[in-house]
Chains A and B, each alone.
Chain A
Amino acid sequence: MSVYLLRRLIQAAGVVLAMSIIVFVGVFAIGDPVEILISPDADQMERERAIAALGLDLPLWQQYLIFLGKAVQGDLGRSFVFNEPALELILQRMPATLELAFAATFGAILIGLPLGLYAGLKPNSLASKGIMAGSILGFSLPTFWVGLMLIMVFAVQLGWLPSTGRGETVEILGTRWSFLTWDGLTHLAMPALNLALFKISLVIRLTRAGVRETMLMDYVKFARAKGLSPFRVTFVHVFKNILIPVVTVTGLEFGSTIAFSVVTESIFAWPGMGKLIIDSINVLDRPVIVAYLMIVVLMFITINLVVDLMYSVLDPRVRLDSK
């Protein structure tokens, strides 16, 4: 187990290093922040001083090495715009994004699993066909359009839910959370649903496919032949087997949920990392962009590792130390 973990960590370090090079070169290629940051009225002397202060006068490889050296010490550079450490800037916004992503993931499981289970157990009923048709919509409608429609219906026409911001928050462990107040929850509901829509469809389809496949297995028939109640057959014998793919995929999807939250956060003015990265790209705030991407990479790696570990808990045939 520990050997496995160590190997995974070394692999992770390699991925982070490779990613940092790609990000650094990529961000360098998309444009020169000097044009945006320095006022056009500035004379040549001021321009050169500013460029030197930002470290942009050095060749790319030197800039990279300086970045790398600082990154190892936990310093991912200072934002050109806010003149604050980029890491701090992102970490301030991270809880909001994580809150949104968790709400969306839990929502997707809470809604998707029962619907998928029903559709799998009664595949020919009208309700199941409705569920499956709905899941196609969930897959294919673009997030931003659904978000706008949600605002139009629930905020503008019905006036039930607020359309922007986090609402009232409660501070716990130094960060602010919306889900602990009623006002915060009403603010959270729409963006979370918007972000969850794709995942709900995914969970429905995965669960349904899993149930349909598992129901045909001999061990389900054997469980029935043992005289178990239909409830136990479904919720122990079938359910435990379909949880394997569902947990794997929703876990892996968590990374993309955070990535997708860029769109949702922009529409609902949710003050998370996604909104920050969009704003930073607009003004070519390089350190923030680089820091954001590095953090997202780290998150993906962590999520993958956690999913692998959970997988081994759910499926006894996968025991990590045996390999």
Chain B
Amino acid sequence: MADTTNTSAPTLVAAQAAAPTLEVRNLQTHFFTRAGVVKAVNDVSFTIGRGKVLGLVGESGSGKTVTGFSIMKLIDPPGRIVGGSILFQGRDLATLSEEEMRTLRGNRIAMIFQDPMMTLNPVLRIDTQMIETVQAHEKVSDADARARARDALGMVGIPSPDERLKSYPHQFSGGMRQRVAIAIALLHRPDLIVADEPTTALDVTIQGQILAEVQKLCATTGTAMLWITHDLSVVAGLADDIAVMYAGRVVEYGDVGEVLDAPLHPYTHGLIGSVPSRNKRGVPLRQIPGMTPSLLNLPEGCSFRARCPRAAEDCIVMPTLHPWLPNRLARCHHPHLEEVESA
């Protein structure tokens, strides 16, 4: 008995140290509405290592945001995580109680929201909203918490943080508010940040500044990041890996450079083709025909089948996320392999 504990304990620690920061396996989050079950997230898997950035890409309604909130376990009824596991440093978040989860939220796992105009409480001062975050997880005096808040504001590039702490959110611009939100997310030096389109609501110059700072922070602190966006150019510059979502499923997953250069899945192909770029000047942009299917009643087989130029009869069977190439996965029976070989 003593032997087993002696031998197993170090291996367990070793396994945890080696475990990636986040490993999502077959996550399923459904919303049980009156009209029926909305399968917003319906089989999503990915892994993010320490200090790595994963770009989660997809169009509106593909389930990116629900995936993010599922990891935070902030899905409100009628929504519910119905299957899969969310392994955070080896611990399955899906099985944690609400109180255990609360101690992780904002502490080890932080989140940045899409609309900076809405994420800060309009009637509370910035210092209140920052200090309460510090004190939610650590017993520190008001003065120490304030000092931490001030340092965090300085870190995200907010000038004269002491004065700004006493301001209300409406006294900040959108970009500044997002910096405050990021500063709040950084207060406890989290191991994972879930960023839900944090730069979408900002203008391009501010976006660039924030991206650069986030990248720097991830590299220096070893924080892993899930960056949810529909903007492929942001992902190209920021992420290490990319996961493309369509109708609640990950359809393509791999190294960001390889995927964007030679996508395997016809949907990724179409998505990249519809982005304007310099070498396509004068050429009409390609569109993906049709519309995203309703998540309420998904078609049988591959969800992209109806819009896919390469669809064949066997697409009536849902394909699995198959490793077609080393470190390249695609959920497709007829991936664009020939282009990878030619490239």
Is A72 an interface residue when CB atoms closer than 8 A count as contact?
A: no
- CB-CB contacts of A25-48 with B at 8 A, as 1s and 0s? 000000000000000000000000
B290 to chain A, nearest CB (A): 32
Is B110 a contact partner of A219 (Cβ separation < 8 A)?
no
- Scoring A226, A237, A314 by chain B CB atoms within 10 A of each residue's CB, the highest score goes to A226
Please provide the 9 A-B residue pairs with the shortest distance between their CB atoms, ordered closest to farther.
Answer: A227-B106, A226-B106, A218-B118, A227-B105, A316-B168, A225-B111, A219-B121, A222-B119, A226-B133
At the interface with chain B, which of A12-20, A129-137, A144-152, A228-236?
A228-236
- CB-based contact B106/A240 at 8 Å: no
A sample of 26 cross-chain residue pairs with beta-carbon separation below 8 angstroms, ordered by A number, consists of A217-B118, A218-B119, A219-B118, A219-B119, A221-B74, A221-B113, A222-B111, A222-B119, A223-B121, A224-B74, A225-B72, A226-B136, A226-B184, A227-B102, A227-B103, A227-B105, A227-B107, A228-B102, A228-B106, A228-B132, A229-B102, A229-B136, A236-B124, A236-B132, A237-B124, A315-B122
With contacts A222-B181, A224-B74, A227-B104 taken as known, whether A317 is within 8 angstroms of B122 at the C-beta atoms is yes
Given contacts A219-B121, A240-B121, A317-B170, 8 further A-B contacts (CB under 8 A): A218-B118, A227-B104, A227-B136, A228-B102, A240-B123, A316-B122, A316-B123, A316-B125
Complex Cα distance A7/B284, Å?
Answer: 62
Cα(A316)–Cα(B74), bound, Å: 29
A86 CB to closest chain B CB (Å) equals: 44
- Is the CB of A98 closer than 8 A to any CB of chain B? no
Query: By CB atoms of chain B within 10 A, which of A223, A225, A228, A236 has the most?
Result: A225
Complex Cα gap A240–B120 (Å): 13
Nearest residue (CB) in A for B122 is A317
Report the separation of the CA atoms of residues A114 and B317 in the bound assembly, to the nearest whole angstrom. 55
Taking CB as reference atom, which chain B residue is nearest A221?
B74
Q: Tell me how many residues of B have a C-beta within 8 Å of chain A.
A: 28
| Bound CA–CA A221/B79 (angstroms) | 15
Q: Residues of A contacting B115 with CB < 8 Å?
A: 218
Q: How far is the CA of A232 from the CA of B105 in the complex (A)?
A: 15
Nearest-neighbor residue (CB-CB) of B133 within chain A: A226
Taking a contact as CB atoms closer than 8 A, the residue among B74, B121, B133, B168 that contacts A241 in the complex is B121
* CB closest chain-A residue, reference B107: A227
Say whether, besides A219-B118, A241-B123, A316-B122, A227 and B133 are in contact (CB < 8 Å). Answer: yes
Known interface pairs A227-B104, A228-B132. Does A219 touch B137 (Cβ–Cβ under 8 Å)? no
Cα distance, A219 to B133, chains bound together (Å): 13
B205 → chain A, closest Cβ, in Å? 24
How big is the A interface, by class? 20 to 34
Within 8 Å CB of B104, what residues of A?
Answer: 227
The verdict on A68 contacting chain B, using a C-beta distance below 8 Å, is: no
Closest residue of A by beta carbon distance from B69: A221
Provide the bound-state CA to CA distance between A229 and B137, in Å. 10
Closest partner residue, chain B, to A218 (CB atom): B118
Expressed in whole angstroms, the minimum distance between the Cβ of B164 and any Cβ of chain A is: 14
Is B136 in contact with A237, judged by CB distance below 8 angstroms? no
Assuming A221-B74, A225-B106, A226-B184, is B123 touching A244 (CB within 8 A)?
yes
Could you tell me if A222 and B136 are in contact, using CB atoms closer than 8 angstroms?
A: no
- Once bound together, how far apart are the Cα atoms of A224 and B122, in whole Å? 16
A316 B170 Cβ-Cβ under 8 A: yes
Whole-angstrom CA separation of A51 from B124 in the bound complex: 64
Interface residues of A in 272-323 (CB under 8 A from B): 314-317
Q: Are A227 and B123 in contact (CB under 8 A)?
A: no
B113 touches A218 (CB 8 A): yes
CB <8 Å contact, A237 and B121: yes
Q: Are B122 and A219 in contact (CB under 8 A)?
A: yes
* A50 CB → nearest B CB, Å: 62
CB within 8 Å of B: which A243-286 residues: 244
Given the complex, which residues of A lie within 8 Å of B103, measured CB to CB? 227
Q: How far is the CA of A286 from the CA of B244 in the complex (A)?
A: 81
**Could you give, for residues 116-159 of chain B, a 1 whenever the CB lies within 8 Å of some chain A CB and a 0 otherwise?**
00111111110000001100110000000000000000000000
Establish whether residues B168 and A317, one from each chain, have CB atoms under 8 Å apart when the complex forms.
yes
Complex-state Cα separation, A314 to B119, whole angstroms: 19
Q: Which residues of A are found within 8 Å of B74, using beta-carbon distances?
A: 221, 224-225
Determine the residue in chain A with the shortest Cβ distance to B134: A226
What CA separation (Å) do A228 and B102 show in the bound complex?
A: 7
- Interface pair A314/B105, CB less than 8 Å apart: no
Given the known A-B contacts A240-B124, A241-B123, A316-B168, are A227 and B118 also in contact in the complex, defined by CB atoms under 8 Å? no
Q: Are B133 and A315 in contact (CB under 8 A)?
A: no
Closest beta carbon of chain A to B115's beta carbon, Å:
6
Which of A227, A228, A229, A240 has the most chain B CB within a 10 Å cutoff? Answer: A227
A167 to B252, CA, bound (A): 81
Query: B120: which A residues are within 8 A, CB to CB?
Result: 219, 222
Give the interface centre of B72, B111, B122 by most chain A CB atoms within 10 Å: B122
Q: From the candidates A222, A236, A315, A317, name the one contacting B113 in the complex (CB within 8 A).
A: A222
- Bound-state CA distance A237–B107 (Å) is 19
* Interface pair A232/B168, CB less than 8 Å apart: no
Say how far A174's CB is from chain B's closest CB, in angstroms: 40
Q: Chain B residue with minimal CB distance to A241?
A: B123
With the chains together, A232 CA to B133 CA distance in Å?
11
For residue A236, which residues in chain B have a CB less than 8 angstroms away from its CB?
Answer: 124, 132
Task: Report how far A227 CA is from B103 CA in the complex, Å.
Answer: 6
Quick check: A315 and B105 within 8 Å, CB to CB? no
Q: Which residues of the other chain, B, contact A315 by a CB distance below 8 angstroms?
A: 122-123
For B74-112 the 0/1 string (1 means CB < 8 A from A) is: 100000000000000000000000000011111100110
Binary flags per residue of A44-77, CB closer than 8 Å to B gives 1, else 0? 0000000000000000000000000000000000
What CA separation (Å) do A315 and B169 show in the bound complex?
12
- Chain B hits for A223, CB < 8 A: 121
Task: Give A306 to B313 CA distance when docked, in angstroms.
Answer: 74
Residues of B within 8 A of A228 (CB): 102, 106, 132-133, 136
